[in-house]
């Protein structure tokens, strides 16, 4: 097994009745990096970890790498932030591109997190009370613990970042949500393992990915697929919740 392993926590889209929303965890040198954070994140971690034979909870998570602010990717941040604040007495380390974090508080979290009642009166809170933001970059690689991350914008309705993540001598690529983009595919191709979304509408059609060269398809896995996706017929392996495996070299 390589020095970088992947635990699959959720594989579904925003409308899934069968799966948790797309969510992954990467481990290197005993450190866990959560990629996106849907609700209910503790249950997702518990069930995914149990399926893989790993004792995993938010206490094991060193940081969260956030791709964008659609609820199926970030709805667990409120619960994670509150739990870390009240139970762990520490902020969540949040790796996020500034274009994504620009509306994180006012546009996403403040409605539920701005006020608390530790006693008989309300107390106003702020983003920095719950989260420590570490800005990611398109131009430069950012290192956190054993992980080094670089971003690239995708074609989506709101600011969304694909990611390359290096750790343990391996490189992991994640498309996040995107329409099909040859440039993004080329950028991700340097990774040892590529996890790419596929879905309908504004997302990437399966047929486009299936037409890629065989060598590229061989190191690609699918995520964010709709409930009716025919996994058995796919020539690219779909990820399954509860899988845990080492990222192998190309």
189 CB contacts (<8 Å, ≥6 apart)? 173, 216
Is the CB of residue 178 less than 8 Å from the CB of residue 184?
yes
Beta bridge partners of 92: 131
Q: Residue 108's Cα: distance from chain center in Å?
A: 17
- Check residue 249 and give its pLDDT: 73
- Check residue 119 and give its pLDDT: 80
Residue 217's SS3 state is helix
- Check residue 2 and give its pLDDT: 59
Q: Which domains does the chain have, with CATH numbers?
A: 5-246 (3.60.15.10)
196 CB contacts (<8 Å, ≥6 apart)? 175, 185, 188, 204, 209, 220, 221, 222, 223
Is the CB of residue 80 less than 8 Å from the CB of residue 91?
no
Tokens (6 digits) for 115: 């006020």
Distance (Å, rounded) from C-alpha 208 to C-alpha 166?
26
10-residue averages of pLDDT along the chain (250 residues): 88 98 98 98 98 96 98 98 96 98 98 91 95 98 98 98 98 98 98 98 97 98 97 97 90
Is the CB of residue 179 less than 8 Å from the CB of residue 196?
no
- Check residue 120 and give its pLDDT: 83
Alpha-helical runs (H) found in 193-234: 206-210, 214-218
- Check residue 118 and give its pLDDT: 81
pLDDT tens for each residue of 60-96: 999 999 999 999 999 999 999 999 999 999 999 999 9
Q: Which residue matches tokens 């697929």?
A: 225
Distance (Å, rounded) from C-alpha 49 to C-alpha 46?
5
**What single string gives the DSSP state of each residue in 49-108?**
HHHHT----GGGEEEEEE----HHHHTTHHHHHHHIIIII-S-EEEEE-HHHHTTTIIII
CB-count exposure of residue 198 (10 Å: 0-12, 13-18, 19+): buried
Residue 109's SS3 state is helix
- Check residue 1 and give its pLDDT: 45
- Check residue 97 and give its pLDDT: 98
């Amino acid at each position: 097994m390589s020095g970088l392993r992947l635990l699959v926590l959720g594989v579904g889209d925003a409308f899934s009745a069968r799966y948790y929303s797309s969510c992954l965890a990467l481990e290197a040198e005993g450190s866990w990096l959560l990629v996106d954070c849907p609700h209910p994140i503790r249950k997702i971690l518990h069930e995914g970890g149990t399926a893989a034979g790993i004792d995993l909870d938010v206490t094991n998570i060193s940081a969260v790498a956030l791709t964008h602010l659609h609820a199926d990717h970030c709805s667990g941040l409120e619960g994670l932030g509150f739990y870390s604040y009240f139970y762990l007495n520490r902020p969540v380390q949040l790796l996020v591109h500034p274009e994504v974090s620009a509306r994180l508080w006012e546009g996403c979290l403040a409605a539920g997190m701005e006020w608390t009642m530790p006693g008989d009166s309300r107390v106003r809170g702020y983003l920095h009370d719950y989260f420590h933001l570490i800005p990611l970059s398109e131009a430069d690689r950012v290192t956190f613990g054993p992980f080094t991350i670089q971003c690239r914008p995708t074609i989506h309705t709101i600011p969304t970042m694909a990611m390359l993540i290096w750790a343990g001598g391996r490189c992991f690529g994640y498309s996040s949500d995107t329409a099909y983009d040859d440039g993004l595919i080329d950028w991700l191709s340097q990774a040892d393992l590529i996890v790419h979304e596929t879905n309908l509408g504004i997302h990437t059609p399966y047929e486009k990915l299936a037409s890629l060269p065989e060598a590229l398809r061989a190191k690609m896995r699918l995520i964010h697929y709709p409930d009716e996706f025919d996994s058995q017929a796919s020539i690219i392996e779909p990820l399954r919740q509860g899988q845990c495996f080492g990222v192998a070299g190309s």
